Chains A and B, each alone.
Chain A
Amino acid sequence: MKIVIIDYGAGNVKSVQFALERLGYKAICSNDAEVIKSADKVIFPGVGEASSAMQEIKKQELDKVIPFLKQPVLGICLGMQLMCQFSEENNTDCLGIFPVDVLKFNNDLKVPQIGWNVINNLTGPLFNDVKEDAYVYYVHSYYIPKNDDAIALTDYGLQYAGAIQKDNFYACQFHPEKSSSIGEQILKNFIEL
Chain B
Amino acid sequence: MVTKRIIPCLDIKDGRTVKGVNFVGLRDAGDPVELADRYSKEGADELVFLDITATKDKRKTMIDMVEKVARKVNIPFTVGGGISSVEDVNALLRAGADKVSINSSAVKNPQLINDLANKFGSQCVVLAVDAKNINGEWKVFLVGGRVETELNLFDWVKEGVDRGAGEILFTSMNNDGTKDGFANDALKKLSEIVNVPIIASGGAGSVQHFVDTFKQGKSDAALAASVFHFKEIEIVDLKNTLAEEGLKVRL
B-binding residues in A (CB < 8 A): 11-15, 18-19, 21-22, 47-49, 52, 78, 107, 109-117, 135, 137-141, 155-156, 175, 177-181, 183-184
Is the pair A18, B123 in contact by a Cβ cutoff of 8 Å?
A: no
Minimal Cβ-Cβ distance residue in A for B249 = A116
Which of B14-22, B90-98, B152-160 makes up part of the contact surface? Answer: B90-98
Cα-based distance from A114 to B119 in the complex (angstroms): 19
What 0/1 pattern do residues 74 to 94 of B give for CB contact below 8 A with A?
111000000000000000011
Is the pair A49, B121 in contact by a Cβ cutoff of 8 Å?
A: yes
A-B contact count (CB 8 A): 109
Answer whether A114 and B197 are a contact pair too, CB < 8 Å, given A11-B120, A47-B120.
yes
Is the pair B2, A113 in contact by a Cβ cutoff of 8 Å?
A: yes
Cross-chain pairs A/B with CB under 8 angstroms, 19 sampled: A12-B93, A14-B94, A14-B95, A47-B120, A48-B119, A49-B121, A78-B121, A112-B166, A112-B197, A114-B2, A115-B197, A116-B5, A116-B45, A116-B250, A117-B1, A139-B76, A139-B98, A178-B74, A178-B98
Is the pair B196, A112 in contact by a Cβ cutoff of 8 Å?
A: yes
Answer whether A116 and B2 are a contact pair too, CB < 8 Å, given A14-B95, A111-B195, A180-B75.
yes
Cα-based distance from A179 to B40 in the complex (angstroms): 11
Using Cβ atoms and an 8 Å threshold, which residues of chain B touch A19? 74
Cα-based distance from A19 to B94 in the complex (angstroms): 15
Cα-based distance from A113 to B70 in the complex (angstroms): 22
Using Cβ atoms and an 8 Å threshold, which residues of chain A touch B221? 115
Answer whether A178 and B197 are a contact pair too, CB < 8 Å, given A18-B71, A49-B121, A141-B123.
no
Is the pair B71, A135 in contact by a Cβ cutoff of 8 Å?
A: no
Is the pair A177, B74 in contact by a Cβ cutoff of 8 Å?
A: yes
What 0/1 pattern do residues 95 to 132 of B give for CB contact below 8 A with A?
11011000000000000000000111111100000000
Is the pair B74, A22 in contact by a Cβ cutoff of 8 Å?
A: yes
Question: How near does chain B come to A155, taking the closest CB pair, in angstroms?
Answer: 6
Question: How near does chain A come to B192, taking the closest CB pair, in angstroms?
Answer: 12
Cα-based distance from A117 to B197 in the complex (angstroms): 14
Using Cβ atoms and an 8 Å threshold, which residues of chain A touch B250? 116, 135
Using Cβ atoms and an 8 Å threshold, which residues of chain A touch B76? 137, 139, 175, 178
Using Cβ atoms and an 8 Å threshold, which residues of chain A touch B72? 22
Question: How near does chain A come to B197, taking the closest CB pair, in angstroms?
Answer: 5
Question: How near does chain B come to A78, taking the closest CB pair, in angstroms?
Answer: 8
Question: How near does chain A come to B187, taking the closest CB pair, in angstroms?
Answer: 14
